[in-house]
Amino acid sequence: MSNNPYGNSFGGGLGPQTVGQGGQGGAGGAAGGRRDAAGTAGLAGLGQGAAAPGDLIKETTTAKFSADVVQESRNQPVLVDFWAPWCGPCKQLTPILERAVKAAGGKVKLVKMNIDQHPSIAGQLGVQSIPAVFAFVNGQPVDGFMGALPESEVMAFIQRLTAGQPGGDPIGEALDEANTLLSEGDVASAAQLFGAVLQHEPGHAGASAGLAECYLKSGDAERARALIDQVPADKAEDPAVAAVRAKLKLREEIAKLGDPAQLQARLEGNADDHEARFDLALIANAKGDRQTAAGHLLEIIRRDRSFNDDAARLKLLELFAAWGPTDPATREARRRLSSLLFA
């Protein structure tokens, strides 16, 4: 970028420039090109107006720039995101930056500056279009990019920026953040992070398994299976991949047995619908609910031991063998079976 007061040029980190507003190249200049008052009022505060929680991400002003960016960058790298409320690509990039910075686990911070309210710093740095991101290290701008880059490229940029820091593992930290998001129910954000890792490192077992889990939680088992099938052979036995494969197998087994809700409704309508109860027992066992599975089979034996040539008792003995003699479910169900048979 030209007119850089610090005398530093960006070292190859520039992405393609995005246009500013209204689709006109260069119309997003830092010091000009504002929308009219009515348009700005209608868009103000959308997407980027509020500061993100925590110390890693904050908004800054012209007066606070020295402390928030220049001084703070002596502790760790600081990314400065120059944006404006009317900038569509800014609204795409900022959430990506926030996720990537959080995933970096404190190795980099993000400071956002609204150029409509604070144009002078962007002007001094020669910003011509937004979004524009500057990386400051030890008080100086050392790298940067323009445009709404994909999440994988943003993560790679941060990885290069923090490569010299001790313990830096952006991939591992991104996976930790993604798994946390997934456990908290934020499937969409988790999927974006897992996907970004896969773009950066195709075939990564943990990221493949994580993204497949996102598909499963979204009800898309077909895409989950397709993703797991693409995992390289040398990573196919990874515990996370194996766990997803087991879940997919379980879904297939349950699907063959029928809809549990419909089976339960049949049973509630007719307590002697032994076929429905038998299938519910198989579904419960497939889900790992051994007590419920045994309970259904024992109830069939109690009501009609002769059902389907003693199928309930024979299946129960088969489950005992699979569960093992010392399993609590086996021991309890054997006791109840003895009571039924020899009462």
H/E run at residue 183? helix 170-183
Q: Could you tell me if residue 21 is inside a domain? A: no
Q: For this structure, is 90 an active site residue? A: yes
Q: Are residues 284 and 318 in the same domain?
A: yes
Q: Are residues 142 and 46 in the same domain?
A: yes
pTM score of the predicted model: 0.43
Q: Could you tell me if residue 2 is inside a domain? A: no
Q: Could you tell me if residue 9 is inside a domain? A: no
Indicate the number of domains in the chain.
3
pLDDT 10s digit of each residue in the chain, 343 long? Answer: 333 332 333 333 333 333 233 333 333 333 333 222 222 222 122 223 323 335 889 999 999 999 999 999 888 899 999 999 999 999 999 999 999 898 887 889 999 999 999 999 998 888 889 999 999 998 888 889 999 998 888 988 988 888 766 555 677 778 888 888 998 999 999 999 999 888 888 889 899 999 999 998 998 989 999 999 999 888 888 888 888 887 888 778 777 888 899 999 999 999 999 999 999 999 998 888 999 999 999 999 999 989 999 999 999 998 888 788 888 999 999 999 998 888 6
Please tell me whether the peptide bond between 141 and the residue prior to it is cis, using omega within 30 degrees of 0. no
Q: For this structure, is 87 an active site residue? A: yes
- Which structural domain range is residue 191 located in? 170-255
Domain edge (last residue) among 133, 162, 191: 162
Q: Could you tell me if residue 1 is inside a domain? A: no
Matching residue, tokens 């997803």 = 244
* pLDDT computed for residue 169 by the predictor: 65
Which residue out of 87, 158, 171, 207 is catalytically annotated? 87
Q: Are residues 49 and 148 in the same domain?
A: yes
Q: Are residues 178 and 201 in the same domain?
A: yes
% the chain with pLDDT above 70: 82
For residue 305, the tally of other CB atoms under 10 A from its CB is: 13
pLDDT tens column, 222-236: 999 999 999 988 888
Domain edge (last residue) among 255, 282, 303: 255
Tell me which amino acid residue 87 is.
Answer: C
Q: Could you tell me if residue 295 is inside a domain? A: yes
Strands ordered across the beta sheet of 78-83: 57-59, 109-114, 78-83, 132-137, 140-146
Q: Are residues 214 and 331 in the same domain?
A: no
Q: Could you tell me if residue 205 is inside a domain? A: yes
Q: Are residues 153 and 212 in the same domain?
A: no
Domain edge (last residue) among 162, 178, 193: 162
Which residue out of 69, 90, 281, 333 is catalytically annotated? 90
pLDDT tens column, 67-94: 999 999 888 899 999 999 999 999 999 9
